[in-house]
Chains A and B, each alone.
Chain A
Amino acid sequence: MRILLILAVLAATVPPALAHEEKSEHLTISHPWTRATAPTQKTGVVYMEISANASKPDRLIGAFSPDAEITQIHGMQQDGDILRMRTVEAVEIPAEGKAELKPGGTHIMLIGLKAPLFEETVIPLTLTFERAGKVQIEAVVEAPAARAASSPGQEKSGMHSGHGR
């Protein structure tokens, strides 16, 4: 599992296409993960942490997965105790900062899954950034009710720090 996570980080930092090489050195995408689904479940969700390494900010403006009919970026608005999930235009990645896509917050929603997502497999995604361009990643499929990407000694909130080592 750890290898997959590292691969995911590598996939983000060392993109396959030459054209992206120069640009994506500005971004690190850590722990892209998703949840396993039932055969009757038609939606999936992808979470990750996106850090801007450089002093310039970036914006996530698009996402695509060949495993779903529609891929959207969603934000969560909490209106009192009512939760409203809506598409958002972009996710801001502040300069030398990060954007966290996590349960109950901003996430990538997969609609019309072509096949169920099985635990311990990966699904490919292409993210489009305003500055860094297209970045290909693989999200690890975790348990159906996972709260965070699985990695040693990391179970609760406060996750996602100190990775990529």
Chain B
Amino acid sequence: MNRKLPIIVVTLVVAVFAFGAWLNLRVVEPPENAAVGGLVVNVNIGGDFALTDHKGERVTQKRFLGKYALIYFGYTFCPDVCPTELGEMALAIDELGAEGDAVTPVMISIDPVRDTPEVLSEYVPLFHERLVGLTGTYAEIKDVAEKYRVFYHRVDDPNYTYYLMDHTSFVYLLDPAGKVASMFRYGTPPEEMAEAIRQHMRVRDNG
């Protein structure tokens, strides 16, 4: 038991730091005169990344420029929340009709150990024909998660060899320039997400 103590201490320290970092992320509800929907992001969030897609090809943020992107951080071992949220994303894109073609759905795995490109390649088409699955090395995932202020933490079950992941469950809307335009909380109805995306598109077209 005592041999586990250092691990527990390290885990706690990491958790405290992660939570501290998380608190730094302040998202505010849109002011009443906001022209667009979704959460307004008032910190510098997002940025470039180097990852591997579900076809095994290396990709950076460049791949998604020129179009909107809806990005979700999740993992395939997650049976409840992730399929629910990916389903909502897909419905939001469908809800947009023809305009939905201008939005690329993306899932970035926060569980790169199990989510190899091969695993993702079987998983992503279940949700949307254009859903792009991204994974990477542990360091690559850590980097992109930090840029997006994503909290994720591995939770082992002492009785079994499998593990679960605690994680934040936001959907990020990137504009065609690659900037995070908005974030949607877990459980945002697809219609609301679609309407917010539509508003962003209008503001951008008119601006």
Contact = CB atoms under 8 A, between A and B. Distances in A.
Contact of B123 (A40, A74, A85): A40
B160 A41 contact: no
B80 A109 contact: yes
Contact of A104 (B22, B84, B90, B162): B84
B77 interface: yes
Contacts of B84: 103-104, 145, 147
A77 to B, nearest CB: 9
Interface stretch (A1-9, A31-39, A121-129): A31-39
Contacts of A146: 87
Interface string A1-44: 00000000000000000000000000000000001111111111
Interface of B: 22, 76-81, 83-84, 86-88, 90-91, 118-119, 122-123, 126-127, 151, 155, 157, 160, 162, 164, 166-170, 185-187
B79 A81 contact: no
A45 interface: yes
A103 B82 CA distance: 10
8 contacts: A38-B76, A39-B122, A40-B76, A81-B169, A82-B167, A82-B168, A83-B81, A83-B168
Interface in A108-135: 109-112
A123 B173 CA distance: 37
